[in-house]
Amino acid sequence: MARTQDQVRYKCALGAMQTVQSIERVMPILHAGPGCADKLATGNGNSGHFAPRIFPCTNLTEKEIVFGGEGRLKETIENTLKVIDADLYVVLTGCSSEIIGDDSQEIVNSFRLQGKPVIHASTAGFKGNNYRGYEWVLNAFFEQYLNDEEHYDTEKGLVNVFASLPLHDPFWHGNLEALEGLLADIGLKANIFFGYDRGVKNLQKSPKAQFSLVVNPWLGLESAKLLEQRFGVPCFHYPNLPVGASETGKFLLAVSEFAGLDVEKTKKLIAERESKYYYYIERFADIFLENRIMSRRFTIVSDAQYALALTRFLVNDIGLFPQRQYAMEDVPESYRPQIREYFKDMNYGIEADISFETDGYAVHDEIRKADYMGYPLIVGSAWEKKVAEETAAHFLPISWPLNERLIVNSSYVGYEGGLRFLEDVYSVVLTRFT
């Protein structure tokens, strides 16, 4: 039965244009109606080479809907190649072009046969959201741009990194850089596709990697496994984005063991980093243990990546207790049972209830009815601000839509990231004294 969705936390699959825009010198070409791209565009930090609102589009009208838009797509690609200097062009198809049956792949193939760097990803909104679109864009690159008949020598220590959803996640760039730093600390080189000084050159190196690392409960697994299937690059799945000392230590050990590194050396590194981390924790322990101004219970309203990462941090490192948590990106059904298990794997036998509800109204209704036994901590998006005011909660916005914070390259990943998250949370808590 049809239902109304309120305040959803994802965009349609055509939002994969943001995935394309986050790769330097790669240009999306949209085969869709004139309003689609404009609604999905954002100026919040693209790759930097092109302005955020520059995207060639076929601007399908009633004429193309009736008589077909293949000619219009061919013309748009031809003109884009003449006018825009890019390393790769990615044709993304919207609902209208797919409903009328345009053979966009065939048009793209005709350009590829001429040696033009053009690929195609099917991203109609009725097929999924921008999280799935992210994987479909990567899959298109691995299938259409890389040659699986070519021999690639493995570069020892090179690691493909799949983590946050570019641009949609406000912390995406900082997360990738923080993961790159953690891998470098144990002697590995991150091969990242998105952000500063990355681009097509890193995508081309992906078959040479020693292994692919997926740091997310589910996002990126499909693409990493496709890379393994086509080029034999092993996939290591670490579901939890490491925030704070407890999870970062586990992450470094797990990656070291998989990569065949010196585990004892890694343990020594962890001990050094934890010594400094807990030095800062001890200095402000009185504030963190103060429970007159904050309940020990919290709720995360975000996607599965942050719901899991921040829940584990707040439970394992800070000793808070989880109320119901919410992963709102419409996680595919096949991944949900395993993700539920991840929320049961915490210290002291504590388990968290995870909901995959996508309707913001229903989530807010549950929060209003919950008993937090004091002032709750709500970590979410701009849409949680109202319910936070209604429940007298301490509120920290971290997820899309994010209207009251500017995130440039910040991150909550690692030891420094855990401390930064505590700074942000308790800066909000301390306003209670004012």
Q: Which CATH superfamily is domain 284-433 in?
A: Nitrogenase molybdenum iron protein domain (3.40.50.1980)
**Reported CATH class of domain 13-145:** alpha beta
- Cα 45 to Cα 225: distance, rounded to the nearest angstrom: 29
Helix ranges, 89-166 (H): 95-99, 104-112, 130-140
In the prediction, which pLDDT does 112 show? 94
pLDDT for position 2: 60
Helix H or strand E encompassing 186: none
Residue 348: CB atoms within 10 A of its CB come to 8
Report the candidate in 278, 225, 292 with the shortest Cα–Cα distance to residue 248.
278
Predicted confidence at residue 55, as pLDDT, reads 84
Q: Which residues of the chain are modeled with pLDDT < 70?
A: 1-2, 42-49, 51-52, 290-293, 434
Q: What is the pTM of this model?
A: 0.94
Per-residue model confidence (pLDDT) at position 49? 67
CB-count burial class (<10 Å; 0-12, 13-18, 19+) for 306: buried
- Nearest alpha-carbon partner for 176 in 22, 64, 32: 22
Domain residue ranges of the chain, discontinuous segments joined by +: 13-145, 155-264, 284-433
Q: DSSP assignment of 383-416, as one string?
A: GGHHHHHHTT-EEEEEESS--S---SS----HHH
In CATH terms, are 13-145 and 284-433 the same topology?
yes
Q: Return the structure tokens found at 386.
A: 């109202």
Tokens found for residue 391: 């429940």
Residue 231 CA to residue 336 CA, distance in Å, equals: 28
- Give residue-wise pLDDT tens across range 188-228: 999 999 999 999 999 999 999 999 999 999 999 999 999 99
CATH number for the domain formed by residue range(s) 155-264: 3.40.50.1980
User: What SS3 class is residue 247?
Assistant: helix
